[in-house]
Amino acid sequence: MNLSISLVSRLFRLLFLFNAVNVLQAFIPLPRFGHNANLINNKIYYFGGKDSNGNVSHDLFYLDLTLTSTPQYLYASNSSKSPEFSLLNYTGDFQGTYLSGSTAWKNSIYAFGGEGAKEGDFKNTFIKIRIDSNPIIIEQLDNTNAPSPRGRLTPVVDKQGKIYFFGGWDGTGSDNTMYIFDSNSATWTTVKSDSAPDMIWGYAAILTDDERILYIGGNHHDKIRYMPFDSIPVFNINTSDWERINTTADIPIAGRVAHVAILDRIYRTNDVIFVSINELKVADKKRVIIYGGERDSSDKTTNGGIVVLDLSTKKFTQPNIEGKRPDYIPYRTTATYFNDYIFVAFGNRNNIPSVEFNILDIYNGTLKWVQMANLTRPPSNGPDNGAGSVVDKPSANVGILIILAIVFGIKNGRFYELEIPI
């Protein structure tokens, strides 16, 4: 082999090892609860939360959900049972978040409030995490007209980029104003109404297709420990006023706090049932899947704490669930919908921060706990948050290797096989 081939072989080895090191250096996050999770461009971005030492996390990392024939995020290594997370670098003043509220619009995450490491240290910090920059930029936004310092609230963004903040815990429980931030003009407005419910916190919030926000469960200070599920407060975006949904249930279902909820739409086309979050037509059936949280002792659900609200009949049911369910019911966890899967990450397990990661498959209207290795459906667009899809580009190093192989690896009509140490 001549000098050029030998040189290429050495370069190939170096670049291979460089890529191998990059692949093997997967980020392993600490156990946490009270964190944030937001989906942008087929990636779930995680940040914040409190660890087992009571420290508030400052890290920002993601899980790539782009499915391929060999999903890259199955595990960090053959011996690992954890998803492969990737740590991100960022610039800007970021003090970490715990029990803050966040939502995604276009290529940014907006996060408000939360608590510090010390209980009762409420924040009204308002930040914008720009995912489309490299490194990621974290901006401090104007909070002059924002809610007072508080945590344990869930903001909701509509199709125009307006973000709705209601409730939360500020130590008093007296503010039931709706705060609205327009991400396009960076301005705040408020809505006060005599029909607004009392200030609640630890609830789950869902935006329906007809632009109504459902506030499910939660606590109210010194009044109701667990807000009941039989009367759900609803904010109508079109009228800027409050309504109520009265529900029924086939079994005793008590209220709960620090739970999660996902809106699921089921469609029927040519007698084939499928589920999609992005379809523009009217769904044949819409349901809210609720999981986790602390529950009142009167609750009689026995399937791991999952209940489903049919928005057509206004009835709660306890669904049949396949697969091996998690061995505990988390609270202060996160649930992210993508491609007919619900990804449940971290959370509080018997007052201990958890690193567990579970997946609920809701395809075809059924519910089944699955492992990451069983995710086989091709990628589809996630929820419409104003962001376009992203196609991952091959590594530049791969391109260099291909060019070198073509230019130098062929001699006298033969392709020289380069040995690679493994």
**What percent of the chain lies above the pLDDT cut of 90?**
54
Q: Give the pLDDT of residue 379.
A: 46
Residue 232 bridge partners (DSSP): 245
Contact (Cβ atoms closer than 8 angstroms) between residue 309 and residue 248: no
Q: Looking at residue 370, what is its pLDDT? A: 86
Query: What is d(CA 390, CA 80) in angstroms, rounded to the nearest whole number?
Result: 28
Residues 151 and 168 sit within 8 Å (Cβ to Cβ): yes
- Cα–Cα dist 323/362, whole Å: 12
Q: What is the structure's pLDDT at 27?
A: 84
The predicted structure's pLDDT at residue 374: 56
- Segment 87-100 mean pLDDT: 93
C-alpha to C-alpha distance for 347 and 356, rounded to whole angstroms: 8
Q: How many CA atoms lie within 13 A of 264 on its CB side?
A: 30
Q: What is the pLDDT of residues 299-346, one digit of tens each?
A: 777 777 899 999 999 999 999 999 988 888 899 999 999 888 899 999
What is the pTM for the complete model shown? 0.80
Rg of the chain taking only CA atoms, in angstroms? 24
Confidence at residue 93, expressed as pLDDT on a 0 to 100 scale: 87
- Structure confidence at residue 6 (pLDDT): 55
Average pLDDT taken over every residue of the chain:
79
pLDDT of residue 266: 65
What angle separates helix 3-24 from helix 396-408, to the nearest 10 degrees?
160
- Mapped onto helix, strand or coil, the DSSP state of residue 62 is strand
Q: Mind listing the pLDDT tens digit for each residue in 77-90?
A: 333 345 778 999 99
Mention the CATH class of domain 31-391: mainly beta
pLDDT of 296 above 70: yes
Structural element, H or E, at residue 204 = strand 204-207
* Average pLDDT value for residue range 375-404: 43
**Measured between alpha carbons, how far apart are the two ends of the chain, in Å?**
21
From residue 171, give the alpha-carbon distance in Å to each of 167, 183, 191.
11, 28, 22
Angle at the Cα of 24 (from 44 to 132), degrees rounded to 5? 35
List the single range of 182-186, 199-203, 372-376 with lowest mean pLDDT.
372-376
pLDDT digits (tens, 9 = 90+) for 186-198: 999 999 999 999 9
